[in-house]
Chain A
Amino acid sequence: MRDRGRIITGLAVFVAVALAPVWQAALHGAARRPDPKIVTTAKQCVEPTAAMRRDHMELLNAWRDTVVRRGQRTYVAADGKTVTMSLTGTCMKCHPNKKEFCDACHNYLAVSPYCWECHIEPKEKS
């Protein structure tokens, strides 16, 4: 009976919190679509672009395990060409722009890969 005010307050708080993403979208305006900047002239990455977009984390994980645990550094790609398994030597040679390439999508999706807990981040002017 006399709790009605409190119940309705609680309900209003719940609805307001449930719509939190709507308020945030209204405050921050339209979100930008991430646009990873590719600076290399090479036509293709280690594997085709679609596969890289989807599976790059799995590939890097496999590379780390093969290099660190088995000491092998040669990777044979699906199309037969061989590459040296190295983040700084191979990946970062074509993509030295971590801030504009890696971080573009990772920040957008709140992904924080732990590559840079062991590897040294490339020096870039921000």
Chain B
Amino acid sequence: MLIHITPRSACRSSEITTETAYLSRRHFMAGTGLLLAGAAFPSLATETASRYEGVTPAPVPAWLAPKLAKTQWRTTEVSGEAITPFRDASQYNNFYEFGPEKRDPATHAHQLPTEPWSLIIDGEVAKPGRYALEDLFSPFTLQERIYRMRCVEAWSMVIPWLGFPLAELLKRVEPTSSAHYVGFETLNDPEHMPGIRSRFALINWPYVEGLRLDEAMHPLTLLAVGMYGRVLPNQNGAPLRLVVPWKYGFKSIKSIVRISLLSTQPRTTWQSMAPQEYGFYANVNPDVSHPRWSQAQERRLPNGVFSSNVRPTLVFNGYADEVASLYKGMDLKKDY
């Protein structure tokens, strides 16, 4: 399915100036050059290595290679916004399984074996089972989605993901009529995940997340296997992660090993640790503060000591036109 963006969720052209303000001249020139080259030589458009500047190349898993060649590029855009450099998106991460600091995931995640990988699908489905990644995804076409990513910590990025709508996968395993929620679980592998071994970590592993079934079936909800035209770096959740662009980043669970269709709302990791701070819905909402900081604004990364790059946070992270109807009649201050 091809998703065409509605004009209002796309960034307004007035945002262009503020966004380019922090870009170095060099970066700006290089970006322009790439665009021009892309226009002059259409064949470049399928050349994944050159799509984005400064991307660390990675070997493509055998099952992904043929899919990559047939990718539908840029099925959603965020016009007028600069894409966050790959280096920042891949070295500034929250992935507590690899440690509490932003650099920990990039430092430790390379040890994680991501092949072979299998996904357990269970609960309220007609076709439960343990699926190998390559079998599960064989019928689907890769799509590139450029999404804003808003972290609950009040920073944000713009990231080009590669993946499939979660809905396609769910339809394939056929949820039963009593399936109302979807639960997700991250790999729990102390041997390769030093954060899990830390005695001072408060998280009850494995990390679990959840969505309402209609949220999970929404066309914007993505199961990502790649970003920036390449396979996902481990620290970004390889080989398989969720991306729900209208929710705070912690909902977009990484390195998924289990998807469960459920009849009742699952209790999620952050929600059980601090329910007054992290709700089940966790929709991006400038009007509902995190108890420890305001969510009215966000720092668009990268920023600098002399360019804070602060911008107002948008309701549903700017995707209100697409998703607001999911929450009709709900008090979003109560169901945060």
- Chain A complexes with chain B: no
